[in-house]
Amino acid sequence: MLFMVRMDVHVPHELDPAKFDALKATEKARAEDLQRSGKWRHLWRIAGQYANISIFDVADAGELHELMISLPLFPYMTTEVTALCRHPSAISAD
């Protein structure tokens, strides 16, 4: 099942830069793993913002949630979640 998630990252200014860099490196590794597994199907940057648009392909909302809270930057994000399904005019199963 597909979900679109918009993630906006808000870095508190008082956060130690070294700690934040470490978080970002772990986030990157986690994001790459999830993409390789096929669960994080698309990951795009929103131009001009510290934000992304992602498409997840997961078993259900429970798996999406586990995946989201496993992200090291999750505590610094606001998210919008949209459940998607096949469009009658889509020419492929996705």
Amino acid at 77: M
Look at residues 55, 59, 62, 63 and name the one whose alpha carbon lies nearest to residue 84. 55
Residue 21 binds its own copies (CB under 8 A) = no
- Neighbouring CB atoms inside 10 A of 91's CB total 5
Residue closer to its own copies (CB basis): 18 or 89: 89
- Neighbouring CB atoms inside 10 A of 1's CB total 13
Amino acid at 60: D
- Interface map 24-53 toward its own copies (x if CB under 8 A): ---xx--xx--xx-----xxxxxxxx--xx
Residue closer to its own copies (CB basis): 21 or 82: 82
Q: Interface residues with its own copies (CB under 8 A)? A: 1-5, 11-15, 27-28, 31-32, 35-36, 42-49, 52-53, 55, 60-62, 64-65, 68, 75-76, 79, 81-92, 94
